Amino acid sequence: MLSTTESSPEVLATEGRRPAGGLWGLGQGFTVHAWSSTLAAVAIVLIWAASGAGDFWPVWVILPLLLALAIHGWLRVLNLHPSIWRRPHVTFALAVEAGVWVSLLLFNTGIWGAGGGGSFWPVWPAIGLGVAIAIHASVIFFTEPSTQELSERIDVLTSTRAGAVDAEEDKLRRIERDLHDGAQARLVALGMSLGMAEQKLADAEPTAAQELLAEARVGAEQALRELRDLARGIHPPVLADRGLEAAVRSLADLSPLRVDVSVELDRRPPAAVESAAYFVSAESLANAAKHAQAQRVEIRIGRRGDKLRVEIADDGRGGANPAGSGLRGLRRRVEALDGTLLIDSPPGGPTLLRAELPCAQ
């Protein structure tokens, strides 16, 4: 009588956007149900009238037909108007229960009236069902996030995932540009130098050939160095081999600034979290050296409950722009892991950057 399709909340959102048709705008299925119930009721009344029209016994058949029709109609209303149950601390199941409770209250009241009235006993099953609904609503209120909270969470995830995609696209474009302008150009020059050296050897000019070969060797070393730097920017080998502390200390050793590193980790974080923490440290060190005119940087890394916290403080002039390309890319990287990035950089300094990354394992 009631299909699972009509009662599925996943279908509700889709069907709710269609123009309603049929009886009272509740759709073809409900129209067929209503007309079939009406015809059945009319047939039963005719049988009652033809059999002598005694006590109106058809009421005991009509009442269950009306109960089923009322529940079906309520499901169709929820189907066509999902805004009814898409509210804070309201679910589809709770809305269905409320409609069934009202339908049963009316059904029991009809039975009470058809039975001659007397003591209003329908109040007791109504109270029992009401208590069950109240318990269900309390469980939802205290244990389940509201629909609004879920919607906000979906919006945040959509935004952060889109930011992560943009950040990866920016990285791919940078890698392509670095390869094209750096290593590729040097390798092309290397090939030309080797070709010219080969020609010089063929022309019996060993001194010129030797100079070209020396030039080619220097070019090969530079291309190799640039490829290593590029690979380090994608994912440094020391991070994969020796972990976050060793990778950050390696950054500190290469920095022209005085860098103090403090790492307190009882075990390695997940690889994605390690990578994000490393690049937060790398970008902060680069900004402190290039823009902040800092002399000293302090990096503190440790776990705080189920989060990995990375703090970088420098004594530079401050005024860091959170909307800048570097910090914007860091924010996207951190938020893609459901983390948070805080930047406190007043004019005149100092600058504090704090990243917190979920680290449940």
Q: Provide the percentage of residues in the chain whose pLDDT is more than 90.
A: 11
**Lowest model confidence (mean pLDDT) among 80-89, 160-169, 258-267, 278-287:** 160-169
Span 258-282, pLDDT tens digits: 888 888 888 888 888 888 888 888 8
Is residue 94 predicted with pLDDT exceeding 80?
A: yes
Share of the chain above pLDDT 70, in %: 70
Beta-strand relationship, 258-264 and 340-344: unpaired
Helix ranges (DSSP H) in the chain = 9-15, 28-50, 59-80, 92-114, 123-143, 147-178, 184-202, 206-234, 237-242, 244-254, 271-290, 325-335
Give the CA radius of gyration of the chain: 37
pLDDT in tens, 172-190: 666 666 555 555 666 666 6
Confirm if 122 and 101 have CB atoms less than 8 A apart.
Answer: no
Residue type, 15: E
Residue 131 CB coordination number (10 Å): 10
DSSP character string of 4-63: TTTT-HHHHHHHTTSPP-SGGGS-HHHHHHHHHHHHHHHHHHHHHHHTT--S-TTHHHHH
pLDDT at 104 over 80: yes
Give per-residue pLDDT as tens, 130-144: 898 899 888 877 776
Q: For residue 71, what pLDDT is reported?
A: 92
Residue 92's pLDDT is 86
Confidence band, pLDDT 50/70/90 cuts, at residue 102: very high
Residue 304 to residue 302: CA distance in whole angstroms: 7
**Interatomic CA distance for residues 240 and 202, integer angstroms:** 48
**Residue 288 pLDDT > 80:** yes
Mean pLDDT, residues 139-155: 64
User: Cα dihedral angle (188, 194, 200, 202), rounded to 10 degrees?
Assistant: -120
Residue 307 near residue 359, CB atoms below 8 Å: yes
pLDDT digits (tens, 9 = 90+) for 193-248: 667 766 766 666 777 777 767 777 776 766 666 666 555 555 667 777 788 888 88
**Phi, psi of 251, deg, nearest 5:** -60, -45
Looking at residue 123, its amino acid is V
Contacting residues for 360 by C-beta, under 8 A, at least 6 apart:
306
In angstroms, the CA 154 to CA 242 distance is 36
> How many other β-carbons are positioned within 10 Å of the β-carbon of residue 91?
18
Give the Å distances, CA to CA, from 320 to 264, 311, 351, 356: 27, 15, 8, 19
Q: Which two tokens stand for residue 120?
A: 């209003």
Query: Two tokens at 355?
Result: 């990243």
How confident is the model at residue 190, as a pLDDT?
A: 65
Tally the C-alpha atoms within 13 A of residue 60's C-alpha that lie toward its C-beta. 5
Indicate yes or no: pTM above 0.75.
Answer: no
Distance of CA 317 to the CA centre of its chain: 36
Rounded to whole angstroms, how far apart are CA atoms 224 and 220?
A: 6
CATH class of 238-358: alpha beta
**Alpha-carbon separation of residue 350 from 160, 295, 297, 311, 346 (angstroms):** 28, 11, 10, 13, 7
- Give residue limits of the domains in the chain: 9-144, 152-234, 238-358
Residues in the chain: 361
Per-residue pLDDT at 291: 79
Q: Is 321 left (phi over 0), alpha (psi -120 to 50) or beta?
A: beta
